[in-house]
Every structure is written in C-alpha cells, then in structure tokens.
A = this chain, B = another copy of it.
Amino acid sequence: MQRLKCRVEYDGTVYAGYQVQTNGVTIQEKIEKALTKMHKGESVKVIASGRTDAGVHAIGQVIHFDTSLNIPASNWKRALGPMLPEDIRVAEVEPVTDDFHARYDTTAKEYRYYVWNDHEPNLFRRLYTYHIRKPLDVAAMREACKLVEGEHNFTSFCSPRTDLKGSKVRTITKAVIEQRGSELVFIFKGNGFLYNMVRILVGTILEVGFGDRTSDELETMLAARDRKAAGKTAPPHGLFLWKVEY
C-alpha cells in the first residue's frame, strides 16, 4: 500500500459541501467514486484536512488515501482527471509515509474571502464573490482585522451547530484585507478554525465596514464568548479554503 497526499481544487457551487452526507452530492463522494473506479470497484476512503460547507470553494484542500495500485505519483493526476467532474480537480499528488494524516497533521490553514464591493454587480464573478453594493470603510475593517490577530477564544465566532467538545482557543497569525479595484480579499491564516469561523469573522467585519459597529467592538465580542455577540455569517460562495500547511 502507498499513501498519497493530494492538493484538490473545487468549485463548490453545485455541491452540498465537502463531506459525504445524506442530502445532496458532495465533493468527497465524487473523489471516492473516481478512486473506486480506478481501483476496479475496491472502495477507497479519502481523508481531508477538514470539511467545507455547501457552496464553499477550495484551491488548497488536502486529502490523503491509501492505494494498492502501482502507479507512479506523477501519473495519478492525469489518470484521475477524466474520472472527475469539471468542477473538481486533483492538482498535485505526492507520495507520503504511512503516518501522514491530512486532518491531524495540519499546522496551519489559510482561508480567503472575496467581496465584490461595487454598486454594479459583476455577473462573471457572481459565483465566487459576495456582492456588496454599499461602500465599505476599508480602514475601519483593517483595524478590526488587527484585533482578531493573536491567540483568542473564538467561541463568539463559532456556529453553535459545531460538534467540537474541546478548546475554542485558536491563534490567528494573519488577518488582512487586500484591495484590487472593486474586489476585496479577506485573508485569514491561523493554526485552526472553528465551524463557520471565517464566515462569521467576515460578516462581523463587514458590519464594521458599513459603520454599524466600531472596530473596537471586536474585543468585546471576543470577550463575550457568545455567538450572539458577533455579527452575521457571510454567505458561503465568497469563501475559499486557500492553503493547508503540514
């Protein structure tokens, strides 16, 4: 058996999220189906760095699986391509030792959230950006980002639907906003993220951008350790799982 680590890209638009579930088609399902086909019906289990919600995209999702096939790593990409739908792509394949684990071994993750901030919508970016017509105060949002950086208990920025029993303390090493014309890119890097954490952070920081909250309030919200203290959850289609580090 050989363990393979893969970087996977997907357009989450039509999927019910990454992880296999009963309602709707998932990305994991499509990848496992393709692998099972390649293994002539022998079922292959795939482990990912983490799940992504319905509608969320990925550039840098990482998965691992074990294979009995004797295919060089360099040929896997080409072999898997035609087995997968157009909106899922195995972008890199690399042999790893048997003790590599895509979920448990992560040391850092980066998410990016795209906002199209213009009075006019952008039809051709509609599936990959959250359209906000009202002008945003980017300087105030950057102040808010600064307060998010560092080690905090992020209970206020975690969906109550989480099944996490452990600590909600996480360290955010980078929280910045890049501006490219009408496009704003929120970049969050950290040692781990809670359920819906990036979307709640973005939704809350956008409320600062609208002037509905001040950037200082981020501190109070963190201290509250209560989801109700934070802002709305931004919609999924602006979010990309950008990079996973090991």
Q: Which residues of A contact B (CB under 8 A)?
A: 9-11, 57, 86-87, 89, 91, 120-121, 123-124, 126, 128
Contact = CB atoms under 8 A, between A and B. Distances in A.
B124 A57 contact: yes
13 contacts: A9-B123, A10-B123, A11-B123, A11-B124, A11-B126, A57-B124, A86-B126, A87-B123, A87-B126, A89-B121, A89-B123, A91-B120, A124-B128
Nearest to A122: B9
Please tell me how many copies of the chain the complex holds: 2
Nearest to A58: B123
Contacts of A124: 11, 57, 128
A128 B125 CA distance: 10
A205 B171 CA distance: 52
Nearest to A123: B9
A120 B11 CA distance: 16
A86 B122 CA distance: 11
A89 B124 CA distance: 11
Contacts of A86: 126
A115 to B, nearest CB: 16
A118 to B, nearest CB: 12
A182 B120 CA distance: 27
A11 B124 CA distance: 7
Contacts of A87: 123, 126
Contacts of A10: 123
